[in-house]
């Protein structure tokens, strides 16, 4: 039995130097450029009926400050997509600038571990509906800093604490699966949903074909973030369309 009526497809556009790229397992050395014009990609998604976009500033994540704000502004002003934007949001100024540039939600991860008071202050200031919490997981433990840093925080404890502080939107990436096209972390998601049956959990990482989407939906996830599988043709635009 699933805990959601709808299942949202959320394509990811990862940005380096203003271009649409993908990494494998967060490794900047394993970079593939898919398109020089992210707006073209975003418009293509919108044309087939996609409503949401996951925009990741990989330069920003590395630098610790927002870098690809102009791309966000362009996509937000030239499409009607609901955009969540993450990467390099570390200060009051940077989160405000992201909303000013047209993001509907700010995607945050490391800061929820490293500076909880600031993170919780943003939930209070902007509202939980404007914050998307990203939980990067390796061996059921939270990883931070672009996956370079492991912690001893269990994913279950992490989610429990953040739900109690008002968080509503969570996406979870199984790092061991990301960018490898070997299937998503179904067991991890099942475990999370069994602990928190009413959670709105978005899966991320590892999706390799359309069957993975059916499996994630059956697991009870409320949506999925997909990147590489689309860009490498493992899931065709026609298949994607049939799922919307």
Residues annotated as part of the active site: 14, 136
Q: Any idea which residue has 């790229």 for tokens?
A: 21
CA atoms within 13 A on the CB side of 89: 29
Q: Any idea which residue has 């600038």 for tokens?
A: 97
Task: Give which of 169, 158, 196 is closest to 10, Cα–Cα.
Answer: 169
């Amino acid at each position: 039995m699933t805990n959601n009526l709808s299942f949202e497809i959320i394509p990811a556009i990862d940005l380096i130097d203003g271009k649409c790229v993908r990494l494998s397992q967060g490794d900047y050395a394993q970079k593939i450029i898919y398109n020089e014009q992210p707006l073209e990609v975003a418009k293509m998604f919108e044309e087939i009926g996609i409503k949401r976009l996951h925009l990741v500033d990989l330069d920003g994540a590395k630098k610790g400050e927002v870098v690809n704000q102009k791309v966000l502004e362009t996509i937000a002003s030239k499409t009607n997509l609901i955009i969540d934007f993450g990467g390099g949001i570390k200060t009051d100024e940077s989160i405000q600038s992201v909303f000013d540039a047209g993001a509907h939600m700010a995607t945050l991860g490391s800061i929820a571990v490293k500076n909880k008071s600031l993170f919780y202050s943003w939930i209070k200031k902007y509202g939980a509906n404007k914050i998307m919490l990203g939980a990067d997981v390796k061996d059921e433990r939270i990883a931070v800093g672009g996956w370079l840093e492991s912690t001893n925080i269990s994913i279950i404890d992490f989610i429990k604490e953040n739900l109690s502080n008002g968080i509503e939107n969570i996406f979870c990436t199984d790092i061991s699966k990301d960018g490898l096209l070997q299937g998503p972390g179904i067991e991890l998601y099942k475990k999370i949903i069994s602990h928190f049956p009413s959670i709105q959990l978005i899966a991320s990482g590892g999706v390799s074909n359309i069957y993975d989407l059916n499996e994630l939906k059956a697991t009870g996830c409320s949506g999925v973030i997909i990147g590489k599988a689309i860009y490498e043709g493992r899931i065709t635009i026609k298949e994607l369309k049939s799922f919307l």
